Structure 1
Amino acid sequence: MPETLNLSKSQIVARSLSQMNAELTEHAWTARQKLALTCRILFDGGHDSGLAGQITCRAEDPDTFYTQPFGHGFDEITESNLLVVDQDLRTLDGKGMPNPANRFHTWVYRARPDVNCIIHTHPLHVSALSMLEVPLQVSHMDMTPLFDDCAFLEKWPGIPVGNEEGEIISSALGDKRAVLLAHHGMLVTGKTIEEACTLALLMERAARMQLIAMQAGAIQPIEAQLAKEAHDWTSTPKRHAVNFAYYARRALREHADCLK
């Protein structure tokens, strides 16, 4: 008789996590390479909106971070054209200037030492949902990484280039990993680039699903305890790394130039 048929769910979960950590390997991309790949992944995932949106991650020196040069779309970012900037948005390495809206990233980093990557975009379905001034509703298993982990800023504070907007957005985010910004877009954070990338793709899909479901009827909630269990099951560093590796392989088939 198979030895696992009498195991409890918690035992099987622990066994599976141990197996994933032991057997699944992670790709040794640099931070620059991961950011360039993420830009192409986001472009393919519908997150492009002209020059709107930024991605940043903490760099090696304290109080500095990598970001894309202003004037470049996500589909034009390579590991070689990324910038290193300080908290005053002065370019320390690279050619060009950052998006002035990066200012509110500095406020998030200051408030959240656990955050190492921030993605802010205006994808179509998230932006459409933001116009309704309603929170993101997580009511499907695939979206549970965002369950009780997506805040909501219900009023638009204006263009996010001032310190006031930085304080408002970082405060609205609180201790969550994501926030839906009314009349604006979305912001997700991660301890790693892989985590932030995964959540960004999920959030746009979740908004699209919510808009479709709202046309058919009232969205029914899922049981909170089960949703929290699914949230924790899918929110591990190994899962994030494996998800990212798949998205990266897919992106590299079309965007091999991003790693140069």
Structure 2
Amino acid sequence: MNTSAHGASFGLDKDTLTDIAQQRMARSLVFPQWSTREKVAATCRILFEHGHDSGLAGQITARGEQAGTYVTQRLGLGFDEIEVDNLLLVDQDLEVIEGDGMANPANRFHSWIYRARPDVQCIVHTHPMHVCALSITGTPLQVAQMDACMLYDDVAFLAAWPGVPVGNSEGEIITRTLGSKRAAVLAHHGLVVACRSVEEACVVAIQCERAARMQLLAAPAGPINALDPVLAREAHDWILHGQRIEAAFHYFARRAARSQAQR
């Protein structure tokens, strides 16, 4: 290995270089210390900017400090109208603990996911155009490009629409379909994302819509070539590294803030 002052890293293997890069990110990347409510409100505005709005459809939730509670938006407001002050804190039965108004009744399936997945801290459910377009073809999301590798082997597909998700049966079906994965495309419906943090859920949701758009654009050109599973898994883990995800989230938040300030 070259040990000179310059070019010392040229003889290192990829695993070592990956470790070095992650150590540097841990030291160098500094982020604002936002509350859960601030992150949820920012996620609503970010996803609005990325085409996830569909009128009043869709919900974003994050676990509250007290077990069995979560923060969500008030029914009647669009994603672009969400602020910290108009968010609700509700319990598993959607009874409002803090705030004015009511939660979307479709939040019921979130409660089922939270009960089954203690690792999940945030759930995003939206109806973005390209995911919805893909969902009506009966075709699962195919991950075949580097940026989308954060989704590799991590997106389930619910092939049969169970109807409006306000009942307990829909909660059971969607939770079972999701399993241990981070996301699921729901046929004739939309997208659900369940992740370890608000930041991760936001970034994964953005990438799901982008990957669906890419797949629909590529389909007329010919068959989609599959990725090497080993390389795809390597990219999956690299892109989902906590520091990278948080950096991406705050970039999207800054971009959304600039866009909304110009209106």
Using structure 2 for the length normalisation, give the TM-score: 0.96
Tell me what 1:111 maps to. 116
2:86 to 78, 81, 88: 81
Aligned to 2:141: 136
Choose the corresponding residue for 2:42, options 31, 37, 41: 37
What does 1:1-260 correspond to in 2, within 5 Å?
Answer: 1-255=6-260
Please tell me the root mean square deviation across aligned C-alpha atoms, in Å: 1.1
Measure how far apart 1:190 and its partner are: 1.3
Per-residue Cα deviation, 1:28-63 (whole angstroms, up to 9, x for no partner): 111111111110100000000000000000011110
1:211 maps to a residue whose letter is L
1:23 CA displacement? 1.0
The secondary structure found in structure 2 opposite 1:176 is coil
Paired letter, 1:136: L
In the alignment of these two chains, the number of paired residues is: 257
1:239: Cα distance to partner?
A: 1.1
AA in 1 matched with 2:26: N
Corresponding residue number in structure 1 for 2:3:
none
Give structure 1 stretches of 5+ with no counterpart. none
Residue type of the partner of 1:199? Answer: V
Which stretches of structure 1, 4 residues or more, deviate above 3 A after TM superposition?
none
Give me the whole-angstrom Cα distance separating, in 2, the residues matched to 1:231 and 1:204.
Answer: 17
Q: Percent identity?
A: 55
Superposition TM-score, scaled by structure 1 size: 0.97
The whole-number CA distance in structure 2 between the counterparts of 1:106 and 1:255 is 32
Give the AA of the match of 1:229.
Answer: E
2:100 partner letter: K
CA distance in 2, matches of 1:220, 1:251: 34
